């Protein structure tokens, strides 16, 4: 019996950190710096735990688990401010990011579903010139739960007016892959070389690519 045909893709939703910008190291550096300054603890376990969390989630985690004495709101404000300073100096676009977005925008409406805060999303898209390509952008601070919950992807699809089963997600992390899969989307994984997802997470992706250079509309449509 032949396998059922999959629905045609009608929209594509990109992640931001680790897919379009090389920023996971910046987030790690900023959080680690604050942790050391305030007598907290920070290592690979803490970095991995916070990947994909929304701002309310990671700021609470830094207060309760990393050990920062400030309130979660104060922590979030300080971290976001330090990240914005970095982006005003230079937007760390990944090689091929602009070209990949342009290729896909020529074929589908695009969305962006990010764990970054809204001010950082807007700053990056404005300074990189990519804002004009995205019909909808969602920060996980605007939904109830961060990745790996599907909320940010479901909201992006809602704003694009497309069913999640007819949308594809471009992701790099274990939390992001899980979120897109939970939303019912087609998942393209481009593993982050610095913080790669595990084999279990990659097994949930429909396609695993080595770089943005391999990301073409035809690959997603197959």
* Judgement on whether residues 83 and 116 belong to the same structural domain of the protein: no
Whether residue 157 is found in the same domain as residue 192: yes
Q: Are 158 and 172 in the same domain? A: yes
| Cα(151)–Cα(139) distance, integer angstroms | 10
User: Is residue 146 a part of any domain in this protein?
Assistant: yes
Residues 41-95 pLDDT 10s: 998 889 888 887 888 999 999 999 999 999 999 999 999 999 999 999 999 999 9
| CA–CA dist 57, 138 (Å, integer) | 16
Total number of domains in the chain: 2
- The Cα-based distances of 44 to 25, 48, 52, 60, 207 in angstroms read 12, 6, 15, 18, 27
Q: Which domain holds residue 38?
A: 24-89
Of 89, 104, 133, the residue at which a domain comes to its end is 89
Q: Please tell me the pTM assigned to this model.
A: 0.90
Is 3 a residue whose pLDDT tops 90? no
Pair (104, 125) in one structural domain:
yes
Residues 64 and 122 in one domain: no
79 and 114 share one domain: no
Verify that 192 and 120 share a domain, yes or no: yes
Note whether 72 and 151 are same-domain residues: no
pLDDT digits (tens, 9 = 90+) for 167-186: 999 999 999 999 999 999 99
Cβ count near 125 (within 10 Å) = 22
Task: Report the 3 state secondary structure along the chain.
Answer: CCCCCCCCCCEEEECCECCCECCHHHHHHHHHHHHHHCCCCCCHHHHHHHCCCCHHHHHHHHHHHHCCCCCHHHHHHHHHHHHHHHHHHCCCECCCHHHHHHHHHCCCCEEEEECCCHHHHHHHHHHHCCHHHEEEEEEHHHCCCCCCCCHHHHHHHHHHCCCHHHEEEEECCHHHHHHHHHHCCEEEECCCCCCCCCHHHHCCCCEECCCHHHCCHHHHHC
Within this chain, do residues 194 and 145 fall inside the same structural domain, yes or no? yes
What CATH number is given to the structural domain containing 215?
A: 3.40.50.1000
Confidence check: pLDDT of 1 > 80: no
């Amino acid at each position: 019996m032949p396998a059922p045909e999959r629905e045609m893709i009608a929209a594509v939703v990109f992640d931001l950190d680790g897919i379009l910008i090389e920023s996971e190291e910046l987030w790690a550096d900023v959080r680690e710096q604050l942790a050391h300054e305030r007598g907290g603890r920070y290592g690979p376990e803490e970095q991995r735990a916070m990947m994909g969390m929304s701002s309310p989630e990671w700021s609470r985690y830094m207060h309760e688990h990393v050990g920062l004495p400030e309130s979660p709101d104060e922590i979030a404000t300080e971290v976001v401010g330090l990240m914005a300073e970095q982006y005003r100096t230079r937007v760390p676009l990944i090689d091929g990011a602009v070209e990949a977005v342009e290729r896909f925008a020529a074929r589908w409406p695009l969305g962006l579903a990010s764990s970054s805060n809204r001010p950082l999303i807007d700053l990056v898209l404005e300074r990189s010139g990519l804002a004009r390509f995205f019909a909808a952008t969602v920060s996980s601070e605007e939904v109830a739960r961060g990745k790996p919950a599907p909320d940010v992807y479901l909201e992006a699809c809602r704003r694009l007016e497309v069913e999640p089963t007819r949308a594809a997600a471009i992701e790099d992390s274990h939390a992001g892959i899980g979120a897109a899969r939970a939303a019912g989307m087609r998942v393209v994984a481009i593993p982050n070389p610095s913080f790669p997802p595990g084999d279990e997470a990659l097994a949930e992706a429909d396609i695993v690519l080595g770089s943005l250079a391999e990301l073409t509309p035809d690959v997603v449509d197959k």
